[in-house]
Amino acid sequence: MVKLFKPLVFATLLGLSASLLMGGSASAQSGLTALARADSGASALVDQGERVEMMLRLSQPVPFRIFTLDEPRRMVIDFAEVDWTGFDTEQFDTAEGITGLRVGGFVPGWSRMVLDLAGPFRLVHAQMSRDDKGAVLTLTLDPTASDEFALGAGTPPDAQLVRPSTDDAPKAAPARKLGEGPLRVVLDPGHGGIDPGAERDGVVEKELTLTFARELQDVLNRAGGFEVTLTRAEDLFVPLETRLTLAREAGADVFLSIHADAIAEGRAEGATIYTLAARASDAASQKLAERHDRSDLLSGVDLTGQDDVIATVLMDMARTETTPRTERLADALVEQLDESVGMHKRPRLEAGFSVLKAPDMPSVLIELGFLSSAKDRAKLVDPAWRTKAAWAIRDALSAWEDEEISLRDKLRK
């Protein structure tokens, strides 16, 4: 039986109650064990006339939930929990009614599949059935009216997203001045989980950024004088807004977002440091920022109601003090990285990356290199090159902190 909730949420699994399916410990309560493995070779997503049908082969049954999002139209299927390793989305999806498909980890205990819909569809059938080979999830989607789709779309209130509730959220670290303790550095490995980032010749950005962040964390910890926090320590999706929330909770003195993108426009190679600006330095930077911000949307996050004009004005006022400090941080990083590993011919660029919009902490985005460049890929997968880059960032952070303390002391006199 398929049970309907508002907003549009379907959940069913071998007689388990809907309330159990929407909870975080469904697998444990039902006696099921993670992880179920998905088999793309034994699965299919196909057109049947105007209808779209899906058959997903899993190694065992798992709790799941389904909801839809509008603008653009997407259907989100959350599982507790599926291992997507080796899952071939191109082999699986041959339906013209589905224009794109992504799978991956989402938050602890949950995996996600996102279907981009060619038009408004409604879910008319959803069932998880057990057999001697494990389990099969079957779905049927029928065309529906646009207004009916929009009416039912939205994230269910109890869908588990990354951002904790106010009651459960850890308290922000107490504020203090530079020099009164270790420099609090928040490292933000770009992408993760259902959002892989750039991919070239078997090198995946989300894996590379996490590897480098862990290596940089180790370098900083060994150096002493640093307190390091990662926005993600495993292959999970973290929304952009949550990355900044985590940085504030850590009391970050510095926020470094780490990436290794690929660009289709022209040729680019070498490390680049990005700072925030309303107008991008060039067209490639603008498209890069747009692609970064779109990752939340494509991963099934509901971005409605995000604009707040008053809050934007207040943040712009706060940036008056933070911006010069950010510029000095970017300059220090360019100086050290250029001496150590070399950089892009334009090492300092600007763009409107949302992950850099925190008004209360110096924030930069470090493009370690571009996966679209064979030369950069060779460097990025070389542990020795990454170690030199980590040492350079360490030295830049130390130099920047010393400069900030010196400037502050001069202003006092």
Return the CATH number of the domain spanning residue range 3-152: 2.60.40.3500
**What are 111-167's pLDDT values in tens digits?**
999 999 999 999 999 999 999 999 999 999 999 999 999 999 988 776 645 444 344
Least confident of 26-40, 65-79, 169-183: 26-40
Tally Cβ neighbours within 10 Å of residue 127: 15
pLDDT of residue 167: 43
pLDDT at residue 302, as a whole number? 63
- Tell me the mean pLDDT in the region 75-101: 93
Count of beta carbons in the 10 Å neighbourhood of residue 14:
13
Q: How is the beta sheet containing 51-58 ordered, strand by strand?
A: 82-83, 36-48, 51-58, 134-143, 121-131
What residue spans define the domains of the chain? Answer: 3-152, 183-412
User: What pLDDT, in 10s, does the model give residues 217-231?
Assistant: 999 999 999 999 999
Domain 183-412: CATH superfamily is Zn-dependent exopeptidases (3.40.630.40)
pLDDT given at position 404: 93
pLDDT score for 77: 95
Predicted confidence (pLDDT) at residue 22 exceeds the cutoff of 50: no
Please give the distance of CA 60 from its chain centroid, rounded to a whole number: 27
Q: What is the DSSP string of 8-38?
A: TEEE-STT--HHHHTSTTHHHHHT--S-EEE
- Please check whether residue 80 is in contact with residue 110, taking contact to mean a CB–CB distance below 8 angstroms: yes
Angle at 181 between CA 409 and CA 398, to 5 degrees: 70
Round to whole Å and give the CA distance between 238 and 292: 13
Q: What is the pLDDT of residues 320-330, one digit of tens each?
A: 778 899 999 99
Contacts of 312 (CB under 8 A, 6+ apart): none
CA distance linking residue 62 with residue 80, whole number of Å: 6
pTM score, whole prediction:
0.80
Query: Is it the case that residue 108 has pLDDT exceeding 60?
Result: yes
At how many degrees (to 10) do helices 383-412 and 205-223 cross?
60
